[in-house]
Structure 1
């Protein structure tokens, strides 16, 4: 599931890129790709609103490229993955000061700046995932459930109590409906961003869990 979605996302990034951004995306981005696989995908489960090597205005009237930008109203998030060598050990005083001033100006321009060390992305991915989840829970409010049917509201209530993925069979037993109809309700709730796939085998979703924003906000 991750690999297929990642390839689709990357194609879309290339299609909307300037030549310099495309060149950067084509370079080896080991730390950045590891962040997507270890942290972003397990925490968020999708790539919507996420942009790699995003081009932003520089405080010196030039351009700089952010490792990732997550742009979803009303916020702009800059996400940087920092290796110890290029960002600390190998930086001289001028580079160090310039890096801090660049970050300050991003904040002035309305960006929320988030930094992860490569070591944490590699060795402590769950800690990084939890930070992303907590941040999203703080920034983005829960979508109102007024678009849900009574059956879907019951599914939502059940899954908040269950606190683990549910299968269409679980929901069919809960509502006393066919498994096919239960799956239809669950798919609609994914489209409404109340749920997201939790287990996928043979390109078929076998279980669903609360969408990250729904689960955190309740």
Structure 2
């Protein structure tokens, strides 16, 4: 499906599952900045919204409720993505409100959330950098996930290396990383291409570099 179709289905699904304040917050708090995060950052990476929750409700340290722009939740993984706009409300924020925002983030970290913050300007003007940060934090979080059984240890190490590098990798780099022969490194990379974990980045008859698969074929999307 296209982004528009998948996005509408995503919102419909969450609206149907909510009521009261949680539904009101989704309808009123999910705005242009939050949409831009999905369109410019999340969708180009994963082409789906699995495990992602908009305007996710969490308990406040003052016994109230707070809402995260997005929560990515898997077994053993809790990542909060926040999109911060720079507008009049931020310029005129009081000292108390500023301290309250810091305390809010501190409490999330204490509750074992990983917190990633992007500015609205970053999402619009530097989407690739935001994509790399998102891919790195999810890859780091899922790399040690004991619930994932379909990737070998070596494949996980290659994926983690590609994510941390942020660009395509060469057989020589994998050979050095894993202390393998050139033949064995190329065999592993070829197998990962067959599994649609990796794709050739440069070269045809003899592949010179590899990149992670995108969309639903990217193993970091579904593991």
**Pair 1:91 & 2:93 matched:** yes
Q: Kindly state the Cα deviation for residue 21 of structure 1 after the two structures are TM-superposed.
A: 2.0
| 4+ runs deviating over 2 angstroms | 85-88, 141-146, 152-161, 194-197
Aligned 1:198-209 pairs, distance under 5 A = none
d(CA) in 1 for partners of 2:119, 2:125: 10
TM-score if structure 2 supplies the norm length? 0.67
Q: Any residues of structure 2 matched to 1:54-65 within 5 Å, and which?
A: 54-65=56-67
Question: How big is the alpha-carbon RMSD for the aligned residues of Structure 1 and Structure 2?
Answer: 2.8
- Residue 38 of structure 1 is matched in structure 2 by 40
Contact 1:2–1:37 at 8 Å: present in 2 too? yes
For residues 52 and 158 of structure 1, the distance between their equivalents in structure 2, rounded to whole angstroms, comes to: 29
Deviation at 1:154, TM superposition (A): 6.9
Contact 2:196 2:217 in 1 (8 A): no
CA distance in 1, matches of 2:149, 2:66: 34
Q: Is contact 2:84-2:120 (8 Å) kept? A: yes
Task: Describe the SS at the equivalent of 2:87.
Answer: helix
- Aligned residue number for residue 180 of structure 1: none
The match for 2:119 among 117, 123, 130 is 117
Measured after TM superposition, the shift of residue 195 of structure 1 is 6.1
Residue number in structure 1 paired with 2:21:
20
Matched, 1:103 2:109: no
1:111 deviation in Å? 0.9
Q: Which runs of 5+ in 2 are unaligned?
A: 153-189, 203-211
**75 and 101 in structure 1: CA distance in 2 versus 1, 3 angstrom threshold:** same
SS at match of 1:162: strand
Residue 61 and residue 18 in structure 1: after superposition, are their counterparts in 2 closer, same or farther (change >3 A)?
A: same
**Shift in CA distance, 158/75, structure 1 to aligned 2, threshold 3 Å:** closer
- Tell me how far apart the structure 2 counterparts of residues 114 and 196 of structure 1 sit (CA, whole Å): 22
1:7 aligns with 2:8: yes
Q: 2:67 and 2:39 mapped to 1: Cα distance?
A: 21
